[in-house]
């Protein structure tokens, strides 16, 4: 029941029903891109965008990332976040994550209690390795 918005790079028209998302990356290899997707939450984007397009248009779309390297020779690849050979699909994992996040947001809005690290200042406790040994006595 929350209003959401998205900004798709490209939605191919019917009969293709494909969402394309371009990413500038250090490495476009599928293995390296999978790590980046996990680090940066690209799976969440895939789930969110496919659900958004379905809600707005009624179309079930596939979702492809096109990572392109930032340095010569500017290699690229095509990575399908909705490939059913991989279960669970990346988009399905992302869907689960974004729905949990929206539930937390709805709870915070309803209760006016926001998750965080507390309201009081915290002492800056430097890690042991950052303190000169002569100061640790």
**Is residue 38 a contact partner of residue 84, using CB atoms and an 8 Å limit?**
no
Cis amide bond preceding 137, omega within 30 = no
Return the pLDDT at 19.
97
**Both tokens assigned to 72:** 């010569």
A 10 A CB-CB count for 109 gives: 11
2-58: pLDDT as tens digits: 889 999 999 999 899 999 999 999 999 999 999 999 999 999 999 999 999 999 999
82-123: pLDDT as tens digits: 998 888 899 999 999 999 999 999 999 999 999 899 889 999
Rounded to two decimals, the pTM is 0.82
**Both tokens assigned to 49:** 């965008």
Return the pLDDT at 102.
96
**Is residue 1 a contact partner of residue 99, using CB atoms and an 8 Å limit?**
no
1 has a pLDDT exceeding 80? no
> Of 30, 20, 13, which Cα lies nearest the Cα of 65?
20
């Amino acid at each position: 029941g929350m209003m959401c918005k998205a900004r798709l790079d490209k939605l191919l028209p019917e009969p293709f029903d494909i969402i394309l998302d371009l990413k500038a990356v250090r490495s476009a290899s599928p293995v390296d891109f999978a790590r980046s997707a996990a680090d940066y939450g690209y799976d969440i984007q895939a789930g969110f965008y496919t659900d958004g397009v379905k809600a707005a248009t009624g179309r079930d779309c596939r979702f492809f990332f096109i990572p392109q390297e930032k340095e010569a020779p500017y290699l690229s690849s095509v990575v399908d976040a909705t490939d059913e050979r991989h279960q669970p699909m990346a988009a399905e994992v992302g869907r689960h994550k974004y729905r949990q996040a929206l539930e937390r947001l709805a709870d915070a809005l309803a209760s006016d209690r926001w998750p965080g690290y507390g309201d009081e200042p915290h002492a800056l406790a430097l890690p042991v390795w950052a303190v000169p040994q002569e100061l640790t006595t």
